[in-house]
Amino acid sequence: MKSLTVSNALPEDFETVYVKILYNQPGFLSANNGLPQLHFYLLDKEGRQVLGHIAFTREENEVVSPYKAPFGGFELASDLSNEAFLFFAAEVMRLLKENHLRFVRMHLPPDVYLPATGRVGHDLKALGFQEKSRPVHHVLSVDEHSFESKITSMEKRKLKKAAALNCAFSIEKRQDYAGVYEFIKSYRTAKGHELSMS
């Protein structure tokens, strides 16, 4: 742990070994909003590696990771120890407090993106964070296996039925959203179900 330090600047001659998240990248954050960014990196000075990163967007005395994006939070090397993570998180919180930032919000990624996410959430609770909500994420893995080989027999039947009825899937234009919403709502209402989307 002696060689670990936290910096707000990314050294050019260090190797990055953490898994990157698009929503934490400076380019995305700049395009997403014009608010100031804060970046913190966990550096291993001895191994000359960047083991972790977290990006925040600052709005007055609050920081959000990320602002107006699905998720962000900590990006970590896959073999990072709990002790190293706790050091990183505690040091980031200390640096934020030094800058008089009292409110911190993080939207952690789904476990499928970073297997350590569940552990991170647990460790953050130990540092005094509270879980306000746990969003539901739906993930479709793209790999060498066919989609049909990964779904249940009931889902396969529904897919066959949709194909037999010549159902088509497409990306709708924003101006068509109201019509799509009304279509879905009418079918849910006809079946006596509530609509769970706004």
What pLDDT sits at residue 91? 93
Average predicted confidence (pLDDT) for the chain: 85
What pLDDT sits at residue 39? 92
Cβ–Cβ contacts within 10 Å for residue 100, how many? 7
pTM of the predicted model as reported, rounded to 2 decimal places = 0.69
Nearest CA-CA partner of 1 in 53, 43, 52, 39: 43
Nearest CA-CA partner of 10 in 62, 65, 69, 54: 54
- Reported as a single tens digit per residue, the pLDDT across 71-104 is 888 888 988 888 898 899 999 988 988 888 778 8
Question: Cβ(37)–Cβ(55) under 8 Å?
Answer: yes
Question: Cβ(72)–Cβ(107) under 8 Å?
Answer: yes
Nearest CA-CA partner of 74 in 99, 49, 97, 56: 56
What pLDDT sits at residue 14? 95
Of the two residues 31 and 66, the one the predictor is more confident about is 31
Measured CA to CA in angstroms, residue 15 lies from 6, 82, 130 at distances of 15, 21, 33
pLDDT surpasses 60 at 128:
yes
pLDDT surpasses 90 at 42:
yes
pLDDT surpasses 70 at 122:
no
Nearest CA-CA partner of 40 in 113, 80, 101, 89: 89
